[in-house]
Structures are given as C-alpha cells and as structure tokens.
A and B are shown apart, each in its own frame.
Chain A
Amino acid sequence: MTEVTFYFFGILTLASAIFILITKNVLHAALSLVVTLLSVAALYVFTNAEFLAVTQIMIYVGGIVVLIVFGVMLTNDVSGKTIISGSVNRLSGTIITLTVLVMLIYSGQELTPIATKVHNTASIENLGEHLMTTYLLPFEIAALLLLIALVAASIIAGHDLQSKIS
C-alpha cells in the first residue's frame, strides 16, 4: 500500500512537471506547479520529513505559487486574451537538463538514504533545539537574508511612490 502511494505521488510529480513544460498557458502552468509542489510534499512525508512537508505546503503552495498566480492574473487581460508563453533555447535547455539528470542519477547511487541516519523521535522538539543550537549560524544568516529581501522589496515598491509625492 505504501509503495503504491509512493509511486502514485512520484508519477504525479513527474506528470505535472512535464505539463508545466508543455502547456503554453501561463496560468495552467502555475496551477500545475501547485500539483507538483503538493506531490513533492507528499514524497517528503515518505522520508519521515513531516515538518518539511507541511512547511512546503505553507510556504511554496500557500505563499509563493499564490503570488505567481496573482502576478499572472494582474498582467492578464480580463477581456479573455490569455498570455501565451513560447519556448526558447530548446537545444541548450535539453542538454543542460540531461546533464543534470545524469549527474543526479550517478550521484544518487553513491548516497545512502537520509531517512536511515536521522533519529525521528519527537521531530519538532529536536528540530527547534538544533535550529537554536547546532545550526544557529545558518539559521540566523537565512533570517538576515529574508530581512534584506523584505527591506529591498519595500524600497523598490515605495521608490516610485516617494518621487510622485515630492
């Protein structure tokens, strides 16, 4: 049963990802991305990374994709014309993708699955403790990065407004 669900979500991930590439309608692509991210979240659950899965849903699906869809809708003509995305750099894109794929398959054989290494007892408590002790520096750097992005975004957004007022 577990294997069937695993392969179901694996196939769903691949199928929706391929659909993103094929479709020319940007909104359909964005909605397909929702399916991809949700099934990747389901795959995380199989590796016992429950917190990561929920975070994926919260941040990527609930936040980022919604913003993408928002952007698409606001640039869309309400009268019915949809934005069509073409495809460029087909040859170089294919080469790069294949190279990365080969590399991933090759290195994937070398790696041992993470799930066997990690202790999953009371994962949330562990996670919180480690974030505040062992991994404090990367955690703070990530926080700083987000803060910089936030400040920069509000400056970019408010820049025009300031010059209009004065």
Chain B
Amino acid sequence: MSTILFFLPLLLVFAVLAIYGERKISAFIQNRYGPMETGYYGLLQTVADLLKLLQKEDIVPRVASKALFLVAPFVIFVAVFAGFSVVPVLPTWQGASINTGVFFLLAIVSLDVIGIIIAGWASNNKYSLLGAVRSASQIISYEVPLTLSVVCVLVVTQSLDLQVISFQQGVLSNSYFADAENYLFGLSFANVNTTEIGGVLTWNILRAPVLIPVWIIFFITTLAESNRAPFDLPEAESELVSGFHTEYSGFRWAIIMLSEYGMMLLTSLLGVILFFGSWNTPFPNIGSIKLASWTTGEVGSMASVFWAVLWLLIKTIIMVFIQMWIRWTYPRVRLDQLMSLGWKYLTPAALVLLFFSALWRLMMV
C-alpha cells in the first residue's frame, strides 16, 4: 500500500539521472562529449540546472487564462504519478491491490491528455495550442493499439493484477498459486515443465512467444504515449518552439519535464512487468546449480528485497535506455505518417495478435 515511499524518491532521482543520461547518450550517439564542466565528467550538470530552474521567475503571460495555466502542470503530473499506485515493487510489497490493476493504470494515465490540453489552451499561444492539439490527437490514437497490446498479455496471464502477473513469471509462482505450472513456450503438450526452472524461461515473452511481436507494438505505442522522438511532434522544436509548454518557466516547467520522465519510467516499468518477468531473476535453475533461487532469496528476507529491487530497476533502466537510444537514432515522423502508422498498421496488427494470443492461451492449459 505504501509504495509511494519508494516511487516518489525513485522518480525524483530517476529524473535527475535520466536527464544526465539522456545528454550523455545523445552526445555519445552524435560523437560529442556532452556536459563535462560541472563536477567530474559533468555529473553535477543536472543538479546545477535544477538549482537554476527553481530560482527562475514563474512567468504567467498577461493574456493567459491564469488559473488554468497555473494548475495544468500539476494535472499532468498527478495523472502520470497516479499510475504508479498499482505497480508492485517486491513479492511482499505491492501497490494498491485492486481487481482492475492494469485497466486502472491505463485509464488514469490517459488523463494526462487533459492536462496537456489545458496547458496548451491556457497559454493563449499559437504554438502551444498547436502542440496541445497534436499531442492530444496522438495520445488518443495510440491508446487503442496500446490497450490492445496490453490485452494480449492479459489474455495469457488471465489476471489484471500486476502483482499476480509478476508472481506467474518466476520460481515463486508456486508460493502464490498452489497448482501453478509453467511450460516451456507455454506448450503444455510438449510437457517441458519449467515451473521449478524459472528465470528467463518463465518470463511472459517466453511463456508465450507470441508476445514478442506484441511487445514491439507495446513499445512503439509507449514511445508515442510519452511524446518522445520519433513521435515528439507535440514539441517539435523546429516547428513549434517547444509545443504545449512553450510559455512555461521555472518550477512549473520542471514539473512538466518531471511528468515526461515519469511517463517514461512508468511505461518502462509496465513493459518490464507485463513482458520481462517483473522483479523476477533472469537466471534459470540448472540442475543442482540453483541460480534462480540464489538470485531470488527467501520471500521476506533482506536478500529477496535486494534482488527484487535490483532486477526490477535494472530491467527498467535498460528499457529507458532503449527509449533514449531510439530517440537519438531516428528522425521525427510526419503527422500523417504518425496517424497511418497508428491506425492502419499497429491497430490491425494488435487485433490479429490478440487472436493469436488467445489461441496460444488454449495451448497453455
């Protein structure tokens, strides 16, 4: 219930490190150094930027709709941060244990569109409004394939609770479900039982390999959901200054950036939980070499806490790294390409994959 004590500090630390990481990764990809002056190897650059941001004047444009302008960044942040409330951290420490876990997460996160629209409209600026309209249309369009790809996973896991989904994907599945059986690739007729082997073999992508293409759709749509390149049309710098947050400064701008990085973290966490084994170890038990059990620990012990947080964060950070890698590798798509990709390719593909996931589920029982 109290996972906010974990996620709030995590988000703040993550944002500081991720901005530094983003600069260094982009610099590496573009063959430059990136920040080098502040601190050893530029490590304190983000901290310095943050201190500068907090001292800045909080400017409100004279013709802006004042109350809405002031409240909009917080609407965005609250919508994104509320999504963390159902995310599990440890086998013994989960968020709100509600029946509708993932569904709630998708619903509450979709509210950040309203914050973006308010921000763009209240700024009373052409660039902001265009950015907000683009952002809203993009997020609404990509919500369809995103939800469908999540449904593909739910068909396989048969549960909406993220903690239950986590337990299914590792050696601990027996401690949660008395008669849980995992088979290699989910093919129960081949009768290769992997329940005790665990590790990467019981992650959802290998429990049902049909989820590998589903993950690709999921990943593309989460990029679009968090408004990042190649889908960063809402804040396309070369066309719209910086989109819906053009008029923001200081602390409120920092909150908007924090929400963007929060969205990256949340979608990465969700991807890890749904497809890559959540807090489960990647190492399988091989005969007497119990790698999986060693790197999981007894439930409730300090070792188990250490391993679970370690695996969850490592996998999440790898996902975030891939997001950044793609951002600095691919050029921005055009608006019509964006829409046709979402509606004409991803949505039908997700529907077809949903059908195959259901078929695969039949083989798993």
A residues near B, CB below 8 A? 27, 31, 34, 50-51, 54-55, 57-58, 61-63, 65-67, 69-70, 73-74, 76, 78, 80, 122-124
Contacts and interface: CB of A to CB of B under 8 A. Distances in A.
A54 B63 contact: no
A27 B67 CA distance: 13
A69 B137 CA distance: 12
Interface of B is mostly: helix
Interface stretch (B106-114, B224-232, B269-277, B302-310): B106-114
Nearest to B64: A80
Given A50-B98, A124-B100, A62 B111 contact: yes
Contact of B140 (A63, A78, A124): A63
B254 interface: no
Contact of B126 (A51, A73, A78): A78
Nearest to B113: A66
Interface of A is mostly: helix
Nearest to B120: A73
Contact of A58 (B110, B114, B126, B132): B110
B99 A69 contact: no
B171 interface: no
Contacts, number: 66
B136 interface: yes
A122 B107 contact: no
Given A54-B100, A54-B107, 16 more contacts: A31-B118, A34-B114, A54-B104, A55-B107, A62-B110, A63-B110, A63-B140, A66-B113, A66-B136, A66-B140, A70-B133, A73-B129, A73-B132, A76-B121, A78-B126, A124-B99
Contacts of B292: none
Contacts of B136: 66, 69-70
In the complex, the 6 A-B pairs of residues with the closest C-beta atoms, listed nearest first: A62-B110, A58-B107, A57-B107, A54-B100, A54-B104, A54-B107
Interface string B55-90: 000000001000010000000000000000000000
Contacts of B137: 70
Interface string B144-187: 00000000000000001000000000000000000000000000
B117 interface: yes
A73 B133 contact: yes
Interface residues of B, number: 27
Contacts of A123: 99
A113 B110 CA distance: 32
A69 B160 contact: no
B114 A66 contact: yes
12 contacts: A31-B118, A50-B99, A54-B104, A57-B104, A57-B111, A58-B110, A61-B114, A66-B136, A70-B117, A70-B133, A70-B137, A80-B63
Contacts of B121: 27, 69, 73, 76
Interface of B: 63, 68, 98-100, 103-104, 106-108, 110-111, 113-114, 117-118, 121, 124, 126, 129, 132-133, 136-137, 140, 143, 160
Contacts of B99: 50-51, 122-124
B68 A58 contact: no
A33 B136 CA distance: 18
A29 B88 CA distance: 37
A34 B104 CA distance: 17
A51 B100 contact: yes
A88 B98 CA distance: 45
Contacts of A66: 113-114, 117, 136, 140
A24 B294 CA distance: 65
A60 B99 CA distance: 20
Contacts of B107: 54-55, 57-58, 62
Contact of B160 (A58, A67, A124): A124
B108 A57 contact: yes
A79 B303 CA distance: 61
A86 to B, nearest CB: 20
A80 B111 CA distance: 25
A54 B111 contact: no
Contacts of A76: 121
A12 B89 CA distance: 33
Contacts of A69: 114, 117, 121, 136
A65 B129 CA distance: 17
B124 A61 contact: no
B87 to A, nearest CB: 16
Contacts of B129: 73, 78
